[in-house]
Each structure stands twice: as C-alpha cells, then as structure tokens.
C-alpha cells in the first residue's frame, strides 16, 4: 500500500552517483583527475555538482528513509508538511510536523516540526533540527522564554 507520505517523498529520493572528472591537457587530450569527482543524477544523467575527492556523498534516501522508519513506529501523529519542504537537484529540506506536540507562545499553539536538510553542492551538510517557523519575532522570543 502506498501511503500519503510515500506519494510526497518520491521526488526527494532520486538516485545519485559519483563519476570521474576529466580535464583537458595542453595537448587537447582528456585525462581523469583524482582531485575531483562529479555528483550526477542517475535517472537523467544531469550534473549536480563537482566536489573534491574527499567529499562524502550521502543521498537523500540515506537521510530520509531511516527517519521515516523511526517515525512509522511513533504513537503520535505526524505528516509531511509542504509549507517549508522543497527539493532541487542540489539540495532539499523536508519538514515533518507533529500536530499533537505543541508549544504555546501566549497567543497560539505552535506544532513542533522536524526539519531534514541535505545538499550535494556543499551549500549545507546533512542536518536535522526540531523547531517551528513563526512569522512574528516577538512570538518567537516569548516561545523560547516559555521553554527555557
């Protein structure tokens, strides 16, 4: 059975691979370099980034699937929130919101969210954080004072 979460996640889980990078020598011939590697989408062969050879490729699937496995075991409700989720070839952010886990900032209840980030162009590393977006900074300040 395909769940709503599965339907929303497929676009995040495209396959990526590393390929060698070639450089053109003065004589016009191409040679591989061991200093760099290319990060490429396997499903359409699009070049995403060129990284130093020390770069550790961590696919979106390697980040997202273990989290989703753990979330499926929770007894509290959660959903993939499109409000701050996005995916591009080079980076992504996935927001998972827990509507039953709330903070009150004095004006309203704010649901807790888990934000999962990854990039292939070094714009950011793999990271996860808990929090919630709120437009009014005064409300944020009151929220953090109420938790802290």
- The predicted structure's pLDDT at residue 31: 94
> pLDDT-derived band of residue 111, with 50, 70 and 90 as boundaries?
confident
Nearest to 98 by CA among 119, 71, 122, 124: 71
- Per residue in 25-65, pLDDT (tens digit) is 999 999 999 999 999 999 999 999 999 999 999 999 999 99
Per-residue confidence band for 8, with pLDDT thresholds at 50, 70 and 90: confident
Helix locations, 10-147, DSSP H: 60-72, 137-147
């Amino acid at each position: 059975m395909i769940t709503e979460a599965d339907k929303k996640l497929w676009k995040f889980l495209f396959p990526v691979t590393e390929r060698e990078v070639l450089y053109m020598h003065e004589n016009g011939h191409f040679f591989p370099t061991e200093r760099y590697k290319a990060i490429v989408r396997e499903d359409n062969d699009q070049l995403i980034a060129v990284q130093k050879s020390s770069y550790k490729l961590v696919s979106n699937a390697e980040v997202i699937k273990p989290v989703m496995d753990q979330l499926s075991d929770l007894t509290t409700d959660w959903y993939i929130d499109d409000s701050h989720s996005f995916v591009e070839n080079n980076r992504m952010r996935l927001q998972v919101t827990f509507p039953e886990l709330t903070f009150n900032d004095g004006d309203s209840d704010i649901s807790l969210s888990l934000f999962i980030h990854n990039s292939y162009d070094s714009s950011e590393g793999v990271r996860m954080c808990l929090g919630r977006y709120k437009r009014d900074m005064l409300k944020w300040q009151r929220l953090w004072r109420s938790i802290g």
